[in-house]
Structure 1
Amino acid sequence: MLILPSRRQFLGGLGASAGLTAATGVYALDIEPMRRLVVTRYAPALPRWDPALRLRVAVLADFHICEPYMPFDRVAEIVDAANALKPDLVLLLGDYPAGMIAWRKLPLSQFARMMEGLKAPLGTHAILGNHDWWDDEAVQSARSGTPAVKRLLEARGIPVMENEAVRLIKDGRPFWLAGLADQQPFMGSWRSESHADVPRTLAAITDAAPAILMAHEPDIFLDLSDRFSLTLAGHTHGGQVRMFGRSPVLRKVHGHDYSYGHIVQDGRHMIVSGGFGMSRIPVRFGVPPEIVLLELGPSAPTPAA
C-alpha cells in the first residue's frame, strides 16, 4: 500500500531541502573560496631525480587578485602560510589579475611588492598565465609586447621565465628549473598563437641534472619530453567544482584528465594545482584554495607547517 506523506512532512522536507541548498550556496560562494586555505602535500618518486637531492617547494597558482574575492589581506595570509612551510624554493604559476569576475581590480604593483615577502633560500621564480596577458589591455590591442606584471615582478627580484631554464644548487646537488611562456596569451586563440616553445626551453638545459618544468596550462603535458622529472601546472582551478574525484566542467585533453592533482602518463609526472582564485564564476566547491607543497627526494623529517 502506498503511504503518502502528510502535509506537515511534505513542508518539512521542502524546508530542509531549501535550507540545504542555501547552506551549500553560502559554502560555495563564501566559505570555501574566501575563507579556507589548505596545504596539499606531494612526495612523488620521480624519474631521473637525484636520490641525494632533497628539495622542499611551495607552489602558488592562480591568485586572481581583486575585490571582493582575493583582496590583499587574503594575499598576505597566503604569503604568511607559505613562509611558515619553510620551503627551499617558491614557484608562482601565473594568473595574477582576476579578469572578468572582479568587482574592483587591484594594483599589480602592490601584489608584486607582497610577493617580494616570500622567503626561500633558492628564491621565488614565476611564469605568466593567460590572464596576465588578457588583463593587459595594451598587449591585447597590439597582439604583442610584455605584460606589466612581468616587469613589476622582475623589479622586485622575482624572475619571470618564458622558455628559459636556470640551474640551481641545493646542498651541492644541482637541478634545473624551467618555465614555459603562456600557451594562450591572446583572447580567442589557442595554440595558433601560443608563446610556449618546448625545444627552446630544452636547449637551455645543458647537463644531465634533474629538471622541473613550470607550465601554466596543463594541456601541453601531452606533448612534453620525458627530460622533465616533474611538470607543474595551474590554470584549471581544479574545475572550481569537483565532486567524487571529478571536475565535470573541464574538458579532457585527447581523452586525458588534466583537471587536478598528481597525473602520471607514460612514465611522466605532472602535478596540477587547484590554485587560490576564481574566473568566469565566483564559486568553489570541493576544491578549496591550496598551497601545493612538494617534498622531493629521500624521506626525512620536515619542518612543521
Structure 2
Amino acid sequence: MINRRGFMKLVGGGFTSFATLGGYALAVEPLGRLSIARYQMTPPGWTPGLKLRLVALADLHACEPWMSAERIVSICKRANSLRGDVTLLLGDYASGMNFVTRRVPASEWSTALSTLKAPLGVHAVMGNHDWWEDRTAQKNGGGDTFAHRALTRVGIEVHSNRAIRLEKDGFSFWLAGLEDQLALRPGKIWKRRRMIGLDDLGGTLAQVTDKAPVILLAHEPDIFPDVPSRVSLTLSGHTHGGQVRLAGYSPVVPSRFGDRYAYGHIVEHDRNLIVSGGLGCSIAPIRFGVPPEIVVVDLG
C-alpha cells in the first residue's frame, strides 16, 4: 500500500514529467528543431533518365516569437543547402494563431522567402490562412490576396489553378498548382453558408498538353482521392502532421479524412501523395512528435 510520502512523490514526479513534456512541446520542438524529411521514389509513368530533386516548405505561419522573419531566413538558407532543382512553397504564410507577440507583415516574410534559390525557380501556392486573414479577398470572393501580391513582388511564381512546363537535362515535366480548397469562409458578414474552395483540378490539368510527368501542389491533401493517375506526385501541407503525433498516429487532424492523410508518404491505387509536417504552428503553438521540417523528394 502506498503511503502519503510515496503518493506525494508520485504526484510530484507526474507533475514534473507533465511540465517537462509541456515545455518541450511549447518551446523546444516548435522553436529549437528543424528536421529534413527525405523521400525517394520513381512514380509509375515517370520519364526514364529524369532525375529531379524537389525541396518543399509548408505552413510557415509567420509570427513572433514562433516564426520570425529571421528564423524564416535561416530555414531558407538550410533549404538552399539541400540543392533542389526546384523549390516549392505549399501555402499558409500568414499567422493563423492568436498566441503571438507580433504578427509578421507580408512584406517581411516575403522578403525572407526571396532568399530561396533553385535552378528551376521557386514556386508557390496559397493556403487557407492566406485567404482567411485577407478580409478584402473574403469580401470580394476571389482575386489576389495580400500573400499572392507579396510573393509575386519578390519574384516568386504563384500558381493559382495553373500548370507550367519545365525542363531539366533535356527532359520535361509539368508543375501544376491549385488554388486553395477552403479559401472562402462562411458567415453572415460574407453571406456564405459554407466553406467555398477556389480550386479547379480539371481546369488546371487541362493545361497539360503532352505526356510529360505532372507534379501537383495542393495545400490541403483532401483533394487526393480526386487526383487522376496522370499525376505522378501530389505535394501537400496544411495538416502539420496533426502537430501532435504519437506512435505514428495524429489524434486531431484538420481533414475530413482524419488521420488518413495526416503525414508522410501515402500510396493509393499507384498514386503518390506526400504530406509535409510543415514548419510553423496553427491555432496553438504546440508541436510534439512532429518537429518542423523541410521536405526533400528525389524523383527518378
TM range (shorter): over 0.9
1:144 aligns with 2:142: yes
Aligned pairs for 1:1-305 within 5 A? 4-101=1-98, 102-188=100-186, 193-250=196-253, 253=256, 257-297=260-300
CA gap 1:124/1:243 in 2 versus in 1, 3 angstroms: same
In 2, Cα distance between equivalents of 1:84 and 1:208: 32
TM-score by length of 2: 0.94
Does the 8 A contact of 1:178 with 1:213 survive in 2?
Answer: yes
- State the 1:34 CA deviation: 1.0
- State the 1:147 CA deviation: 0.2
In 2, Cα distance between equivalents of 1:221 and 1:20: 39
Task: For 1:132, give the aligned amino acid.
Answer: D
Structure 1: gaps of 5 or more residues = 298-305
* SS across alignment from 1:229: strand
| Percent of residue pairs bearing the same amino acid type | 50
Post-superposition, which runs of at least 4 consecutive aligned residues in structure 1 deviate over 4 A? 189-192, 251-256
CA gap 1:254/1:91 in 2 versus in 1, 3 angstroms: closer
In 2, Cα distance between equivalents of 1:48 and 1:190: 42
- State the 1:256 CA deviation: 7.0
- State the 1:141 CA deviation: 2.8
Deviates more, 1:265-274 or 1:133-142: 133-142
CA gap 1:91/1:252 in 2 versus in 1, 3 angstroms: closer
Deviates more, 1:15-24 or 1:44-53: 44-53
* SS across alignment from 1:168: strand
CA gap 1:190/1:164 in 2 versus in 1, 3 angstroms: farther
Match of 2:189 in 1: none
Does the 8 A contact of 2:251 with 2:259 survive in 1?
Answer: no
Does the 8 A contact of 1:64 with 1:98 survive in 2?
Answer: yes
- State the 1:148 CA deviation: 1.1
Does the 8 A contact of 2:184 with 2:195 survive in 1?
Answer: no
Deviates more, 1:107-116 or 1:205-214: 107-116
CA gap 1:154/1:252 in 2 versus in 1, 3 angstroms: closer
- State the 1:218 CA deviation: 0.3
Does the 8 A contact of 1:183 with 1:191 survive in 2?
Answer: no
Structure 2: gaps of 5 or more residues = 187-191
TM-score by length of 1: 0.92
In 1, Cα distance between equivalents of 2:252 and 2:224: 20
* SS across alignment from 1:187: coil
Query: Aligned-residue CA RMSD in angstroms?
Result: 1.6
Task: For 2:23, give the aligned amino acid.
Answer: V
